[in-house]
Homo-oligomer: A and B are copies of this chain.
Amino acid sequence: MVKINTIDGGVCAATGFFADGIHIGLKKEGAKDLAFIYSDTLCSIASVFTTNKMTAAPIRHFRAKGDFEGNFVLINSKNANAMTGQAGIDDIDEVLLALERTFEQITHPVMSSTGVIGVRLPKAKIIEGAKKIDLSKRDGESASEAIMTTDTFNKQIAFEVIPEEGKPFRIGAMAKGAGMINPAMATMLCFITTDAAVDKATMQSLLDECIHTTFNAASVDGDTSTNDTVLLMANGKSGAFHAEAFKEALEQIMLFLAKEMVRDGEGATKLVTYKVTGAVNAKEAEIAAKALSNSLLVKTALYGEDPNWGRIASTVGASGVMCDEAFLSIWFDEVCVYKKGELLFDEKLEPLAAAVMKKAAFTIHCDIGLQDGEFTAYGCDLGHEYVKINADYRT
């Protein structure tokens, strides 16, 4: 049995990792807006990026580097460096070259950005500001604050992992994202650091596997951004590796951060788990679960704490998956509101269902009743704050 202990430190929890977040004038009123992660030895890096065809410059820049080991990531908020063409990529080259000149310890640095689309990177400010970086800092908290955009709280976590056999290792992470979060990755950045001695190929395949049930199962608004990035950096300093334990820790970290992002969804007041079972296969269960987590009518009913199960049924039907009202059943937590064609909803049941909906977190379970396809997605409600935040994001 693997033992997983939550520890402090976020992205600095693993041996050899340093990080900090500082203010360089991109955000107003002294808020932190530039973060870095640095490892004092070279790292293998695994990555997953957005599926958006309008890929932002930092992602194109990263991909153009080909296969490499590196030890530094620079992250700015307030500007996405997206839709900026070759000029946007050249800007990154300039920023990173300046960094390498200032800090000789830095090898193969990469950059990550989040913020407004279609505005050139304020590179002079970033080059000047980055000179203030202190590579000896171990302040994961500040780093996780500097990457926030419309996030209302910073998101980080770290584990010490003790496999049944073999030496312990550490893994930590930070993430940002509150809007444009959707089933196919979105304006979310996530940086995971570990001192496990894991090779790049193993790391990449575990990352790909865990993405599906974690970040890609989470949705705030169904929009997919130009900048989504998950980077996993391993410096091997613990000398330890245990595949099963590593996968379990990685999945737990990613699921925790995915749920944190949904909980912090723009204007969200509730975290809802959509469990779909009984679909003809896993893919159809996924389609139905994601349709539920993205339906405006479901999301507004959640916000209104209205146990309008008819919208749940209608959304499953609209998703196009095989289903029939005679086999469908719906639960709000343990309260069954519709069972295989039977209208259970009455004056007694309604307050029970309504009580579930008042909770900050609960599960809507749809059993399609046909075969054994299952998927679980995570979503939130949509309220006035979402409209307020997004109606005037740029100002």
Is A84 located at the chain interface by the 8 A CB criterion?
A: yes
A316 at the B interface (CB under 8 A): yes
User: How does the 8 Å CB contact mask read for A264-285 relative to B, with 1 for contact and 0 for none?
Assistant: 0000000000000000000000
State whether A120 and B343 are in contact (beta carbons under 8 Å apart), knowing that A52-B318, A53-B324, A317-B54 are contacts in the complex.
yes
Is A51's beta carbon under 8 Å from chain B?
yes
B-chain residues with CB within 8 Å of residue A84 when the two chains form the complex: 343
CA distance A325 to B53 in the complex (A): 9
Bitwise, A305-342 to B at CB < 8 A (1) or not (0) is 01011110111111011111110100000000010010
> In this assembly, does A230 line the interface, its C-beta being within 8 Å of a C-beta of chain B?
no
Instruction: Select one of B51, B119, B300, B393 contacting A320, CB under 8 A.
Output: B51
What B residues does A217 contact at CB under 8 A?
none
CA distance A316 to B116 in the complex (A): 16
Question: Quick one: which of B85, B318, B325, B345 contacts A326, CB cutoff 8 A?
Answer: B85
- Whether the pair A225, B314 counts as a contact (CB closer than 8 A) is yes
CA gap between A326 and B224 in the complex, in Å: 20
The segment from A123-131, A161-169, A240-248, A378-386 that touches chain B is A378-386
A82 within 8 A of B: yes
Interface string of A171-209 (1 = CB under 8 A from B): 000000001101010000000000000000000000000
Q: Does A83 contact B (CB under 8 A)?
A: yes
A349: min CB distance to chain B, Å: 12
In this complex, which of A221, A222, A300, A321 has the most chain B Cβ atoms within 10 angstroms of its Cβ? A300
**What is the size, in residues, of chain A's interface with B at 8 Å between Cβ atoms?**
67
> Is A387 among interface residues, defined by CB-CB distance under 8 A?
yes
- Please give, as numbers and ranges, the residues of chain B lying within 8 Å of A51 by CB-CB distance: 318, 320
**In the bound complex, do residue B303 and residue A345 qualify as a contact, i.e. CB atoms below 8 Å apart?**
no
Do residues B306 and A393 form an inter-chain contact, with CB atoms below 8 A? yes
Cα–Cα, bound, A301→B388 (Å): 10
Q: Which B residue sits closest to A344, measured CB to CB? A: B118
Is A226 an interface position by the 8 A CB rule? yes
Distance in angstroms between the alpha carbons of A226 and B387 in the assembled complex? 27
Determine how close the nearest CB of chain B comes to the CB of A104; give it in whole angstroms: 35
- Give the CA-CA distance A343 to B91 in the complex, in Å: 15
Interface 1/0 per residue, A53-72 and B, CB below 8 Å: 11100000000000000000
| A358 shortest CB reach to chain B, Å | 13
Q: A338 — which chain B residues lie within 8 A by C-beta?
A: 83, 118
Q: How far is the CB of A238 from chain B (nearest CB, A)?
A: 39
Q: Does A296 contact B (CB under 8 A)?
A: yes
Chain B residues whose CB sits within 8 angstroms of the CB of A325 once the complex forms: 54, 83, 85
Asked if A309 contacts B118 (CB within 8 A), the reply is yes
B295 with A391: CB separation less than 8 A: no
Nearest residue in B to A220 (C-beta to C-beta)?
A: B296
Q: Specify which chain B residues have a CB less than 8 angstroms from the CB of A297 in the assembled complex.
A: 179-180, 221, 223, 390
| Residue of chain B at shortest CB distance from A55 | B317
Q: Is the CB of A300 within 8 A of B391?
A: yes
In the complex, A117 has a CB within 8 A of chain B: yes
A179 to B303, CA, bound (A): 17
State whether the Cβ of A347 lies closer than 8 Å to any Cβ in chain B. no
Query: Is the CB–CB distance between B343 and A313 below 8 Å?
Result: no
Apart from A54-B314, A119-B310, A222-B296, what are 16 other A-B pairs with CB-CB below 8 Å?
A52-B317, A52-B318, A53-B317, A53-B321, A53-B323, A54-B318, A83-B314, A83-B325, A85-B325, A179-B297, A180-B297, A223-B314, A296-B386, A304-B392, A308-B394, A384-B384
Give 8 A-B contacts (CB < 8 Å), ordered by A residue: A118-B345, A226-B313, A296-B386, A303-B387, A304-B391, A306-B395, A383-B391, A384-B387
